[in-house]
């Protein structure tokens, strides 16, 4: 910013930043054995319902930073981002290498299936209990009984 002085107030959404991006390395190992090109696509993706996240700092207006007005959970933890097009890029998956009983065999259905969660994601705004649980379990700082 050089000599410019910041004057704009802002907030930070901490609803899914308790843990960093998933390296996706576990999908290169057994039993998944996804190839390097799939792992690269998974790593570089723009996520809907990102796996392995946790809620971050609790909502508060006490930030200790003059222009930072609040830490907020803008996205309600456990609220689905929607049913993303898995085959359209971000969630490339080689079903010929790894699939499970009950996963779709039809390519059109596979395009809508989320292999990282092992299910069809709930519609946008719908309750996603598996994600809500993971966000709570992986919270940083940890959620406590307070």
What is the per-residue pLDDT for 17? 85
How high is the pLDDT of residue 18?
81
The answer to the question of residue 143 being in a domain is no
Confirm whether 146 is domain-assigned.
Answer: no
* The predicted structure's pLDDT at residue 86: 57
Distance between CA atoms of residues 114 and 120, nearest Å: 6
What's the pLDDT score for residue 83? 81
Structural domain total, the chain: 1
pLDDT of residue 90: 63
Domain membership of residue 38 (yes or no) is: yes
DSSP string, 1-60: -TT------EEEE-SS-SS-----GGGGSTTT---HHHHHHHHT---SS-SS----SPPB
Q: Are 56 and 11 in contact (CB under 8 A)?
A: no
Q: Report the distance separating Cα 129 and Cα 79, nearest Å.
A: 9
127 strand-pairing partners: 79
C-alpha to C-alpha distance for 62 and 82, rounded to whole angstroms: 32
Q: Name the maximum alpha-carbon separation found in the chain.
A: 60
User: Which pLDDT score, from 0 to 100, does residue 23 have?
Assistant: 82
pLDDT, position 62: 97
pLDDT value for 19: 79
Identify the bridge partners of residue 11 per DSSP, sorted by sequence position: 70
**pTM score:** 0.80
Q: Which domain holds residue 87?
A: 8-135
Q: Kindly state whether residue 141 falls inside one of the protein's structural domains.
A: no
Q: pLDDT tens per residue, the chain (146 residues)? A: 789 999 999 999 999 888 777 788 889 999 999 999 988 888 887 678 888 889 999 999 999 999 999 999 998 999 998 887 654 566 788 999 999 999 999 988 888 888 889 999 899 999 999 999 999 999 999 988 55
Instruction: Kindly state whether residue 145 falls inside one of the protein's structural domains.
Output: no
Asked, for residue 1, whether it belongs to a domain, the answer is no
Q: Residue 30 falls within a domain, yes or no?
A: yes
Neighbours of 47 (CB within 10 A): 16
Question: pLDDT at position 78, please?
Answer: 92
Whole-number pLDDT of residue 146: 57
């Amino acid at each position: 910013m050089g000599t410019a002085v910041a004057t704009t107030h802002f907030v930070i959404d901490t609803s899914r930043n308790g843990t960093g991006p998933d390296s996706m390395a576990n999908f290169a190992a057994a039993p998944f054995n996804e190839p390097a090109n799939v792992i690269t696509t998974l790593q570089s993706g723009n996520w809907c319902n990102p796996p392995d996240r946790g809620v971050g700092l609790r909502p508060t207006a006490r930030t200790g930073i003059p222009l930072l007005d609040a830490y907020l959970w803008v996205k309600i933890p456990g609220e689905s981002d929607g049913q993303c097009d898995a085959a359209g890029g971000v969630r490339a998956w080689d079903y010929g290498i790894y699939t499970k009983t009950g996963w779709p065999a039809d390519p059109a259905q596979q395009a809508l299936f989320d292999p990282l969660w092992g299910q069809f994601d709930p519609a946008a705004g719908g309750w996603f209990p598996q994600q809500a649980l993971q966000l709570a379990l992986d919270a940083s700082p940890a959620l406590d009984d307070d």
